[in-house]
Amino acid sequence: MPRRIGPVKVRRYSLEFKLKAVKLSQLKGVAVQAVADALEIHPFMLSRWRKEARDGVLRGRVSMPKALKTPPARTMKRFQALQRAHALLQEEHALLKTLIRFTSARKPTSSRSSTKNARRSA
């Protein structure tokens, strides 16, 4: 993997954002990966914040909207299933594109000897 040239942009997240992310990831039936994808952060970062919250390093009180406090588990499971299906379809699409590129780039292979023999026997 090539290294970036120039300054690297480092994002700083507020304490409130971190606590909300941790709170969301602790909901029943919600995967850490799904929360990280939704918030566009790396799952390792969210896991680190969860550990800091357990250890008492991240402290604070976060008021969560009522809609986020108890989302139906059925809805979250459906969302995660759709995410998996979408990822599978994207992978299949990429494979099909590669196959199309490969088959269209190949020249038709016909042997000269087979065309001559076919003309003679006819």
pLDDT per position as a tens digit, 22-66:
988 888 778 888 888 888 889 999 999 999 988 888 777 655 555
Using a pLDDT cut of 90, give the percent of the chain over it: 20
Provide the CATH number for the domain around residue 87. Answer: 1.10.10
- Domain count of the fold of the chain: 1
Residue 37 lies in a domain: yes
Residue 77 lies in a domain: yes
Q: Mention every residue, 6+ apart, whose C-beta is less than 8 A from residue 43.
A: 32, 33, 36
Residue 110 lies in a domain: no
Residue 34 lies in a domain: yes
Residue 85 lies in a domain: yes
Mean pLDDT computed over every residue of the chain: 78
* The pLDDT of residue 94: 95
| Stated pTM of the model | 0.49
For the residues of 69-95, what is the DSSP string, one character each?
HS--HHHHHHHHHHHHHHHHHHHHHHH
At 12 the three-state DSSP class reads: coil
Domain that holds residue 86: 15-103
Residue 70 lies in a domain: yes
pLDDT at 67 over 50: no
Residue 31 lies in a domain: yes
List, for residues 73-122, the tens digit of each pLDDT value.
677 778 888 889 999 999 999 999 999 988 887 766 666 665 555 555 55
Residue 3 lies in a domain: no
- Tokens representing 79 are 């969302």
